[in-house]
Structure 1
């Protein structure tokens, strides 16, 4: 008789600080999960390969959501590469190809934030929606887009963190992005907060003036996304957004900056935290693997 065992999939959330590896089928069936620091490509990918080779049950496919920039185009000769990242040693590294050759399974590859968006679409705050944005605000700012029910790609992939936003009056601290200075990441990421106020974000009390400024910068970025994509929802995750008091402030400023130009759904349901929390990325990578296996591309 045919086996009734479900197919297992492998997942990697490849972050600039840590890698998260998992095997399972979804949020309620993660068989094994392991985290370890991101060091050199050789050491880190070696630990990834060892993780999957140690597991007794085979996986049908592997999904990778990676820090970037990356090449997510399956028809490109550098598909599956991390490309021009400023992270030392990781530029132009063939992540997907290295894993495919070692594990001999199909590999799906996308940005970490597109993977997180897919996870939220499948199991979280994006269920039942056809167009929404997942944004992470932490060490950097990045965003994944689901448009028309599919992960959005174009020439490359979205780089929402580098939207240019106007500097607020009285803010004379240089933006921390080495490429653009005053982009959303340069003005509103965790390192930008620390550089401006001299303390990491978790140490700033809720009534600190920093949060009013942070809410205004993030609201400017969200207004750009609302006017460009007309999303049904904006899902905000990442370490900075652990400050839950930011959500009502951001909603207030989004309404203020739009100034009645377009109709909005209830801001409380438009701008929300991720339902999957910090598991959105690795669970999204599981969904990537399953999608790769089923669609065969």
Structure 2
């Protein structure tokens, strides 16, 4: 019997479904917009049904917040998300009821963190941030996800405001918090400040230094809380080639030599898995783990 593993990266903008073999090579992959729960879950089930005979497990990495407490009556649910129509949706339950195989359920950033740790030799302590439409982070220590009654929500920690934002009275775009990392450094914050989509903003715009200030604070939080071997920043905002250098410079200034860290070129980095495939790779491994 051919053993296949399923991956669902359930994002607020798009769902990415993939099936891989025992070497974690992608056999088939598809993505589609995150529409209503009924439409999107139906498309997801239809994709995996094509491989049902050989699938041994599926891992889901979802946007959140989600309930990952196995003892909770809402385990597997997307909970208090600002994504319209998706609050209190039983994502895992609606998919899993269509299959007779085990499922692993975690956050999309945990999946990405797991994938990134897999390809970095000797690394079992890592923090992965996605800086995109939203901001989330997954942390791994000694090969295990960090979290207790739930997953971490590092995207909603409060950060010190940049002087530019103080001057302009900008407190972010998060509907829950004023002054949190996601509200101040996610992709939509760029357009809220400038009226221009992030990918169209000139590389020499001062707004990138504002972004770097907040992202560097995220790296400092990760450093002081978890002392990881590597911090990975993925997502659309970090696709700007100049951003990593800006974050390095600001991190160095703000940390001010307080604790030792590796060379920043090796410590604060962008994803090592090509084509935003970190979550897919991590999910394949988690699906294999749950199916053994």
Q: TM-score, normalised by structure 2?
A: 0.94
Contact 2:198 2:237 in 1 (8 A): yes
> Which of 216, 230, 233 lines up with 1:236 in the alignment?
233
Shift of 1:26: 6.7
> Which of 106, 115, 121 lines up with 2:117 in the alignment?
121
> Equivalents in 1 of 2:65, 2:52: separation in Å?
33
Partner of 2:290: 292
- Determine if the alignment matches structure 1 residue 140 to structure 2 residue 138: no
Residue by residue over 1:68-115, the C-alpha shift from the partner in whole angstroms, topping out at 9 and shown as x without a partner, is 100112232222111111212211111112222101111110000001
> Which of 28, 33, 45 lines up with 2:29 in the alignment?
33
Partner of 2:61: 65
1:27 to 1:270, Cα distance in 2 relative to 1, 3 A:
farther
> Which of 7, 10, 13 lines up with 2:9 in the alignment?
13
What is the total number of aligned residue pairs between the two structures?
A: 288
Partner of 1:275: 272
> Which of 207, 210, 232 lines up with 2:207 in the alignment?
210
Give the unaligned 5+ runs of structure 1. Answer: none
Partner of 2:18: 22
* Cα root mean square deviation, aligned: 1.5
Contact 2:76 2:92 in 1 (8 A): yes
1:184 to 1:56, Cα distance in 2 relative to 1, 3 A:
closer
What is the DSSP-based 3-state SS (H/G/I as helix, E as strand, rest coil) of the residue aligned with 2:110? helix
> Equivalents in 1 of 2:103, 2:267: separation in Å?
33
Q: TM-score, normalised by structure 1?
A: 0.93
> Equivalents in 1 of 2:263, 2:21: separation in Å?
33
Moved over 6 A (4+): none
Contact 2:164 2:210 in 1 (8 A): no
Give the unaligned 5+ runs of structure 2. Answer: none
> Which of 184, 187, 204 lines up with 1:187 in the alignment?
184
Contact 2:190 2:207 in 1 (8 A): yes
Partner of 1:101: 97
